[in-house]
Amino acid sequence: MAKNKTEQKQQYMICALLDDLVPEDHLVRKLDRYVDWSFIYDICDPLYSNRGTNRVDPVVLFKMMF
């Protein structure tokens, strides 16, 4: 075996929709039907700067905790 032989690694790119990954009976889907999440924007708005890169959606971050 040659010691200088480089190993090629194949890279994959997977495209998936969150709707396809989260089951219909998941807690967040059930809550989403009844909760208006816009209050989170009001709470988080003073914590974000108007300069720099775009912020990560605070509602998405909150839902990720479930």
**45 HSE (CA, 13 A, CB side):** 6
- Angstrom distance (rounded) from CA 35 to CA 17: 22
For the entire predicted model, the pTM comes to: 0.55
Domain ranges of the chain: 23-64
- Say if residue 5's pLDDT is above 70: no
Give the pLDDT score at 9: 77
Which has more pLDDT, 8 or 43? 43
Q: And the tokens for 2?
A: 């040659």
Phi-psi region of 18 (alpha: psi -120 to 50; beta: other; left: phi over 0): alpha
What are 12-62's pLDDT values in tens digits? 888 888 788 889 998 888 988 999 999 999 999 888 888 887 788 999 898
